[in-house]
């Protein structure tokens, strides 16, 4: 019998949480997912969804430190989808990270400098909406609203979650304070704040561990995503949910939806 979802609190959800620590944590997460290519297994799913409706814009919600976007863009180029435009956004935008990533592909990556709430995405943003390891932040009522809003606007939506309640994922998160201490010297740019809040005052390892554990218990299972999808009442969309094998023995839970028309 699978463990039920538990919606505990994450520090990064709150506006009072330190902007400095938030940015250092998202830098770490960006380094992990890009260095180990954690989201490459979703490329075939993403490719099919983008081609199904000829979406040429990806609107990434909760981009953090830009997450897997550079890696995703590289892989899309290999799949002859090099004309895709990507828009980064977040409730608490990490502008330094956004600007750094934009410089890698200025003709394809843009960002929204102000706060974007996933529950009320601006209508002018049209395309395929992605949530990379961020959908678990929302309680069921808000999650259904997000799915309904996306489908009503004709947008596609892709939810991809690395976090989960399986033993392998929980083990990696349990070990994350040690992993973060080992990896920090390789994260660029090398900031004095990163060293202080990792080694001297280890706030970053603690937040990575706490929010990581909570994320795992918050993450929707495939069955829970299907239930949310059914609650939208939208029968004009193609919905697909499941789990695929990731790297380092991990698994990625996903939900993809786009119009049948």
For 17-59, the pLDDT digits (tens) are 999 999 999 999 999 999 999 999 999 999 999 988 888 999 9
**In which residue are the tokens 């180990």 written?**
36
pLDDT of residue 1 exceeding 50: no
> How are the residues of the chain apportioned to helix, strand and coil, as percentages rounded to the nearest 5?
50, 15, 35
pLDDT digits (tens, 9 = 90+) for 166-211: 999 999 999 999 999 999 999 998 999 999 999 999 999 999 999 9
pLDDT given for residue 209 in this prediction: 98
Residue 203, both tokens: 């706030």
Q: Residue 237 CB: number of other CB atoms within 10 A?
A: 19
Separation of CA 218 from chain center: 14
Q: What is the pTM of this model?
A: 0.94
Determine contact, residues 241/36, Cβ cutoff 8 Å: no
Q: CA torsion sign, 206 to 208 to 211 to 216?
A: negative
pLDDT given for residue 2 in this prediction: 62
Query: What integer best gives the mean pLDDT of the chain?
Result: 93
pLDDT given for residue 122 in this prediction: 86
pLDDT digits (tens, 9 = 90+) for 120-156: 888 888 999 999 999 999 999 999 999 988 877 789 9
**Which residues are paired to 138 by β-bridges?**
none
> Band of the pLDDT at 13, cuts 50, 70, 90?
very high
Residue 126, both tokens: 């049209």
**In which residue are the tokens 């900031």 written?**
191
Share above pLDDT 90 across residues of the chain, in percent, rounded to a whole number: 80
Distance CA 225, CA 219 (A): 10
Which domains can be identified in the chain, with CATH numbers? 11-259 (3.40.50.150)
Determine contact, residues 55/127, Cβ cutoff 8 Å: yes
Edge-first strand listing for the sheet containing 57-61: 109-111, 85-88, 57-61, 128-132, 156-161, 251-259, 237-245
pLDDT given for residue 191 in this prediction: 92
pLDDT digits (tens, 9 = 90+) for 69-125: 999 999 998 888 878 999 999 999 999 999 999 999 999 999 999 999 999 888 888
pLDDT of residue 234 exceeding 90: no
pLDDT given for residue 259 in this prediction: 87
């Amino acid at each position: 019998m699978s463990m039920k979802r538990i919606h505990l609190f994450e520090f990064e959800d709150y506006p009072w949480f330190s902007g400095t620590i938030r940015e250092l944590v998202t830098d770490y997460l960006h380094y992990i997912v890009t260095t180990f290519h954690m989201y490459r297994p979703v490329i075939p799913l993403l490719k099919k969804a983008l081609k199904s409706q000829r979406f040429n814009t990806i609107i990434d919600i909760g981009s953090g430190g830009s997450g897997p976007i550079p890696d995703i863009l590289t892989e899309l180029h290999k799949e002859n989808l090099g004309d895709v435009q990507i828009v980064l956004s977040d409730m608490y935008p990490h502008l330094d990270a956004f600007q750094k990533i934009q410089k890698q592909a200025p003709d394809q990556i843009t960002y929204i400098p102000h706060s974007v709430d996933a529950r009320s995405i601006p209508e002018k943003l049209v395309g395929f909406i992605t949530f990379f390891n961020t959908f678990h932040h929302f309680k069921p009522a808000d999650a259904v609203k997000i799915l309904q809003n996306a489908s009503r606007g004709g947008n596609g939506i892709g939810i991809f979650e690395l976090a989960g309640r399986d033993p392998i994922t929980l083990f990696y998160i349990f070990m994350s304070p040690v992993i973060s201490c080992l990896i920090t010297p390789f994260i660029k740019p090398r900031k004095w704040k990163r060293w202080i809040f990792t080694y001297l005052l280890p706030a970053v390892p603690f937040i990575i561990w706490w929010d990581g554990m909570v994320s795992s218990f918050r993450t929707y299972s495939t069955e829970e995503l299907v239930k949310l999808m059914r609650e939208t009442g939208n029968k004009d969309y193609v919905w697909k949910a499941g789990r695929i094998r990731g790297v380092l023995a991990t698994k990625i839970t996903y939900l993809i939806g786009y119009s049948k028309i």
